[in-house]
Amino acid sequence: MVTVPDDLIEARGSVIHGRGVYARGFIAEGEVVMEYTGERIPLGEAVRREQLRQAREAAGETGDVVCDYLYILDDAWAIDGRGDGNVARLINHHCEPNCASDIWDDRVWIVASRDIEAGEELSFDYGYTFRDGLGHPCRCGAPSCVGYIVARHQRWRVRRWLRERDAAAVR
3-state DSSP of 32-91:
EEEEECCEEEEHHHHHHHHHHHHHHHHCCCCHHHHCCCEEECCCCEEEECCCCCCHHHHC
In which element (H, E) is residue 159 found? helix 155-170
CA 107 to chain centre: 16
pTM of the model: 0.88
Taking only the tens place, the pLDDT of each residue in 79-138 is: 999 877 899 999 999 999 999 999 998 899 999 999 999 999 999 999 999 998 998 899
Pairing, β 92-93 against β 123-124: parallel
Maximum Cα–Cα distance for the chain, whole Å? Answer: 57
Could you give the CA distance from residue 128 to residue 94 in angstroms, rounded to a whole number?
Answer: 12
Chain segment 41-90, per-residue pLDDT in tens: 999 999 999 888 888 888 987 776 667 789 999 999 999 998 778 999 99
Assign 102 to helix, strand or coil.
Answer: strand
Domain ranges of the chain: 6-129, 130-171
pLDDT of residue 18 exceeding 70: yes
Q: What kind of fold does domain 6-129 have according to CATH?
A: Beta-clip-like (2.170.270)
Structural contact between residues 74 and 68, judged by C-beta atoms closer than 8 angstroms: no
**Model confidence pLDDT, tens digit, residues 134-150:** 988 999 999 999 999 99
Cα distance between residue 52 and residue 117, in whole Å: 38
